A = this chain, B = another copy of it.
Amino acid sequence: MTERLEDEGRGTPSALASPRVAGILGTRSQVAAMLRVEAMIAAAQANVGLVPAEAADAIAAACEVDRYDVATLERAAGDSGNLAIPLVRALSEEVAEDARGWVHLGATSQDLLDSAAMLQARDVIDLLVDELRAIGVACVDLARRHVGTVMAARTLLQQATPTTFGLKAAHWLRVMTDGMERLGSLRASLPAQLGGAAGTLAALGEHGPAVTERLADRLGLAVPDLPWHTDREPVARLAAEVAIVAGGAAKIALDVALLMQTEVGEVVEGGAPGPSSAMPQKRNPVHAPAAIAAARLAAAAAGVVLDAIPQEHERGLGSWHAEREALMDVFRYGAGAVEHVRAIVDGLEVDPARMRANLDLAGGTALAEALVSALVPEVGRAEAFRLVRRACERVERDGGSLREAAGREEAITSILHPEEIDAALEPSGYLGSARMFVEASVTRFERVAGIRTT
């Protein structure tokens, strides 16, 4: 038996997850959210006459998070499997005796936990939308500044045709815009949870729907038609969207990491470069791999949430437990990915000269399609394709540039003058709708974000 390495800690904090979201999801925040829910349940019940107004007030007064010892609750949660049971007990003790009987009336642990989770989710969404907006603003700036910066578009990692860095940034922007829009719509649909022991709200008599409606209003959550103890679609939609947003952010990170390669060298991610413990020259990407890894972990956690939808009868057996933990991971890692990408785009260094120079690698054959286009009116598409392909093969075999190789193809020079060949092979002349796409993306962002960039 080996000497065992142990400490009392909770594991190394993740460099991939969002520390701010860790705060939103922390025990203290969760206790605060659960207390808010308890207070609002009592208030809603007072409103319909189920609970005396004074009792509801007394409960509200006791629902101050600072009155509770979070560490003690945390330990007790370890035994019960969740925070609800010790918290309800502690709250009851905190409430004056004559109001005590009205605490947690007709509610069940899952009502507390789910409603609190929706409050926490709302805060996570707000944080995410803020970050997406900030990334968006940076992308708008990049898109505008580089609307004319030609670079190679790359498909399957091979240079394809010219594009602009502005268009690349406009794509990044679009994904952020979509995420803001969809998260905003999900935020408005986060439902309060109130079902009681088994979903009938039996202990509230006929007042169930009325109490639920008032509770939801007070919490600023949506009113559910029915309790959703084992109808987990709202949670699954949320998890999926956060993972989608994280994946979109990671696409930015992936593009940047690929553009940062020593052999490409077109951009450098923002923030301090990562040193190496062995190599003095290294300027490692730091945020890009972190964002990529975080998005992957968020996607996997979202997969658990999707897989946990089928929950048993009126409370899931393990499926609910797995979902809760996975949802928190989606939030932590999803926000982590987004935050790392914000660091990437804030202060991204762009090297337009290198972008232009790289287009000349491989003899400038990235303009081959442009040359085809120039030939099509005369010889048709198939023949044009064949001619240019032959010129490209010559470049590949003998070196030199496509311009030179084209000049040696009589079938081409009989159609195009040298200056026409030059014009066809000028990247800035073969950008199609790139500029319009940039404008469309910026316009849509401004509309969704409700801001004017300039």
Contacts and interface: CB of A to CB of B under 8 A. Distances in A.
Given A22-B9, A280-B389, A362-B262, A209 B318 contact: no
Interface in A33-72: 33, 70
A303 interface: yes
A225 interface: yes
B317 A306 contact: no
Interface string A316-336: 111111100110100010000
Nearest to A274: B81
Nearest to A82: B15
A244 B248 contact: no
A295 to B, nearest CB: 6
A451 interface: no
A108 interface: yes
A257 B157 contact: yes
A115 interface: no
19 contacts: A4-B127, A10-B10, A15-B81, A85-B275, A100-B382, A101-B381, A104-B381, A154-B312, A156-B257, A157-B257, A157-B285, A175-B231, A202-B432, A240-B306, A261-B264, A262-B361, A265-B361, A290-B321, A294-B322
A152 interface: yes
A16 to B, nearest CB: 6
A301 interface: yes
A74 B309 contact: no
B27 A9 contact: yes
A227 B434 CA distance: 10
Interface in A276-301: 276-286, 288-297, 299-301
Contacts of A385: 280
A412 interface: no
A178 B262 contact: no
A449 interface: no
Residue from A7, A162, A320 whose CB has the most chain B CB atoms within 10 Å: A7
A5 B163 CA distance: 36
Contact of A310 (B159, B174, B292, B392): B292
A304 interface: yes
B163 A200 contact: yes
Contact of A285 (B11, B156, B236): B156
A269 to B, nearest CB: 11
A308 interface: yes
A246 to B, nearest CB: 8
A410 interface: no
Given A171-B226, A299-B307, A310-B295, A28 B13 contact: no
A175 B205 CA distance: 25
Given A26-B8, A102-B381, A362-B262, A284 B156 contact: yes
A306 to B, nearest CB: 4
A273 B111 CA distance: 21
A370 interface: yes
A251 B280 contact: no
A411 interface: no
A216 interface: no
Contacts of A328: 11-12
A163 B279 CA distance: 14
Contacts of A202: 161-162, 369-370, 373, 430-434
Interface in A143-163: 152-163
Contact of A388 (B106, B261, B280): B280
A415 interface: no
